[in-house]
Amino acid sequence: MSMKQTDVIIVGAGPAGSWLGLRLAEAGIDSVLFDREKFPRDKACGGGLSQKVIEFLPFSMGEVVERQMTGAWIGYRNKYVLVSDFGPAGGMVMRDTFDDFLARKYLEAGGRFFDGASVDTIDETKDGCQIEAAGETWSGNILVGADGASSHVRRACGFGVHRKLLAALAAEVKPSEKVMQALNNRACFDLSAVSGGYGWIFPKRDHLSIGVFTHHRGLDLRSHLQAFCNTHPLLRKAEVFRSRGGVLPVGGDPRPVQKGRVLLVGDAAATVEPFLGEGVYHALLSADIAADVIIKHLKHGKSLGTYADRISDMIDDNIARASRFASVFYGNLPWTFPLLVKNRIIARAFARDIIGKSDFKGCLRHCLIRLPLIPFAYRRETSRADELA
């Protein structure tokens, strides 16, 4: 069996793996990308991309964004508030088409992509790494694990297990045309659907993506999702035609994301934002950081060790703040819902920062600045859930 050579071997063709490969290709660095699934492949995800993701990527995603979002209904105990006065809210995609779109962008930049190709063995060598995949042996200077929460690279290279895992269960449903028209370009979040999290309803082109997300791992999410479907007016007559669950690895605490010539990105590196459970933005950001570090290492001899420091500064600090905020918010909804959702000024600042360009540090700072205005901002009308339909 002949040995094939490359600069960087990337395992996992989700957003992090494809974006990393694209960045490397644009810098003239050779890489090869593997994924065990045949693309396009299904993915357990609600498919809501924040505006940060839309603005992060340097190309139009018009062919994969099914709806441009303009706001959201947020509810608790059958009372809903419309939050929609903070600018663009992001876009709705199907993850199979979105991930395939990014993989094709990598190919167009000159990368090599092997889907349906499991990585069978991983060996670290003195000068890099060696893998066997799809019946071939590849040798590379650097190995990157972008292969998700159950990362084979993470386990094979001794990074240990994820310390904190959140849980989510997603499904696709076919509602009535009346429901699609009622939601239009707005998402719906129900804070009563499950403890320690929320239920979501995301409108796509011709159906809804729904699901439940929670910080409490021991819950029977299928029962909560069924109850959500049975009780929510927008879902009562909807037909569920697909469901799948997953775990969401959260960082924030010190943990290895780089060892020798092996780096982890995205879910493999535990970069999920724990307040909303959103993982795509940090996945792309971690891949972007990895690309910068790898390019400087291969072209200028800089240390790969700077990767962990930059992940800590640019991602983990935000995750830690989001974890603390989530604990307070979901654990005290009787008063956090009126304060942060029903209040026009706080809700607008919060939504703009978290969905837009800022982070939890900026969000909390902006909310604190606006605290003196709280008594003058309770002008939002609430609606019962059955009035949304």
At 30-53, the pLDDT tens digits run 999 999 999 999 888 899 999 999
pLDDT at 239: 80
Cα–Cα distance measured from residue 230 to residue 235, given in angstroms and rounded to the nearest whole number: 7
pLDDT at 389: 67
Distance of CA 188 to the CA centre of its chain: 18
Give strand pairing partners of 206.
none
Within 10 A of 375 (CB to CB), how many other CB atoms are there?
8
- Give the residue-averaged pLDDT of 11-40: 97
Q: Lowest mean pLDDT of 11-20, 54-63, 207-216, 354-363, name the range.
A: 354-363
Architecture of domain 3-44+95-163+251-321: 3-Layer(bba) Sandwich (3.50)
pLDDT tens for each residue of 88-99: 889 999 999 999
Pick the more confident residue, 237 or 10.
10
pLDDT at 66: 96
- Give the residue-averaged pLDDT of 124-138: 89
pLDDT tens for each residue of 170-221: 999 999 899 999 899 999 999 999 999 999 999 999 999 999 999 998 899 9
**Mean pLDDT for the chain overall:** 90
**Contact assessment for residue 264 and residue 145, using Cβ atoms and an 8 Å cutoff:** yes
pLDDT at 382: 66
- Give the residue-averaged pLDDT of 142-160: 96
Count H helices and E strands in the chain, helices first. Answer: 13, 19
Cα–Cα distance measured from residue 107 to residue 18, given in angstroms and rounded to the nearest whole number: 9
- Give the residue-averaged pLDDT of 154-174: 93
**Contact assessment for residue 161 and residue 191, using Cβ atoms and an 8 Å cutoff:** no
Look at residue 144 and tell me whether its pLDDT is greater than 60: yes
pLDDT at 347: 77
pLDDT at 68: 93
Is 15 in a helix, a strand, or coil?
helix
Question: Prior bond to 338 cis, omega within 30?
Answer: no
Look at residue 371 and tell me whether its pLDDT is greater than 80: no
Cα–Cα distance measured from residue 285 to residue 293, given in angstroms and rounded to the nearest whole number: 12
Q: Tell which residue, 275, 281, 244, 302, has the closest CA to residue 364.
A: 275
What burial class does residue 28 get, using C-beta atoms within 10 Å of its C-beta: 0-12 exposed, 13-18 middle, 19+ buried? exposed
**Contact assessment for residue 256 and residue 136, using Cβ atoms and an 8 Å cutoff:** no
Q: Tell which residue, 238, 230, 266, 236, has the closest CA to residue 251.
A: 266
Spatial CB neighbours of 155, under 8 Å, sequence gap ≥ 6: none
pLDDT tens for each residue of 244-262: 888 999 988 889 999 999 9
Look at residue 237 and tell me whether its pLDDT is greater than 80: no
Q: Per-residue confidence at 161, pLDDT binned at 50, 70, 90?
A: confident
pLDDT tens for each residue of 264-308: 999 999 999 999 999 999 999 999 999 999 999 999 999 999 999
Q: Tell which residue, 107, 209, 215, has the closest CA to residue 168.
A: 215
pLDDT at 169: 95
Where are the CATH 3.30.9.10 domain residues in the chain? 69-83+165-249
Q: Lowest mean pLDDT of 55-64, 85-94, 112-121, name the range.
A: 85-94
Where are the CATH 3.50.50.60 domain residues in the chain? 3-44+95-163+251-321
DSSP assignment of 273-318: BTTTTB-HHHHHHHHHHHHHHHHHHHHH---TTHHHHHHIIIIIHH
Pick the more confident residue, 368 or 232.
232
Residue with tokens 């403890």: 195
Spatial CB neighbours of 212, under 8 Å, sequence gap ≥ 6: 168, 169, 193, 194, 197, 198, 199, 200, 221, 224, 225, 228
Domain 69-83+165-249, classified CATH 3.30.9.10, yes or no:
yes
pLDDT at 40: 93
